Amino acid sequence: MIRFRGTWLVLLAVAAALFLLNWQCWQPGVGGTVGGKPLGTQLERSFGWPATYQVELWRSDDQALASRILAAAPFYDPGDEMALEYQVLGGPALAVDVAFALLVLFAVAVIMEGARRHGLAGRQAVLLAGTGLLLLVLWAVSPAVRVSL
């Protein structure tokens, strides 16, 4: 049970950081159209960390749009200027991301509570070691479950 207000504040900050990592496309792919389509701009967006759970392909006939996208990246929203052509969602990848986030929050809570009590007890150290091992397993599994176009 979490007893200290500071722990709740740190957990809120970590949850916000994890949310931002997962719901923002940090490396958009921008380029010209390919595959016999009329000239224009294509945008690939990938979401999720450590596993990519969603990938989108957006298209526009405006060739000059690529420079505007790159100027605003990674915070460009294509909804008004582009059309969504393709989207892939992956349930296993999303499950890995959610499990990873919950384990990180659990580890932060254990560390913060232990620090407030001036040290980790043996049980807390074992919990942290197990959590760390599970995080490593999820990290290793994430490339296998990620989605792509």
Distance CA 60, CA 65 (A): 8
The residue with greater pLDDT, 39 or 36, is 39
State the DSSP string of the chain. Answer: ----HHHHHHHHHHHHHHHHHHSS-SS-EEEE--SSPPS-EEEEEEE-SSS--EEEEEEES-TTHHHHHHHHTTS--TTTT-EEEEEEE-HHHHHHHHHHHHHHHHHHHHHHHHHHTTS--HHHHHHHHHHHHHHHHHHHHHHHH----
pLDDT of the residue at 34: 67
Condensed to tens digits (0 to 9), the pLDDT of residues 19-34 reads 999 988 888 888 877 6
Q: CB-based contacts of 66: which residues, under 8 Å, 6+ apart?
A: 30, 31, 32, 41
Please report, in angstroms and rounded to a whole number, the separation of the first and last CA atoms in the chain: 43
List beta partners, residue 23.
none
Q: In which band, very low, low, confident or very high, does the pLDDT at 1 lie, cut at 50, 70 and 90?
A: low
Distance CA 121, CA 135 (A): 21
Selection from 56, 57, 18, 50 nearest residue 145 by Cα: 50
Mean of pLDDT values over 35-60: 89
pTM for the complete prediction? 0.85
CB 27 within 8 A of CB 70: no
Mean of pLDDT values over 41-48: 92
Q: Which pair of tokens denotes residue 122? A: 């043996």
Condensed to tens digits (0 to 9), the pLDDT of residues 73-125 reads 888 889 888 999 999 999 999 999 999 999 999 999 998 888 777 777 788 88
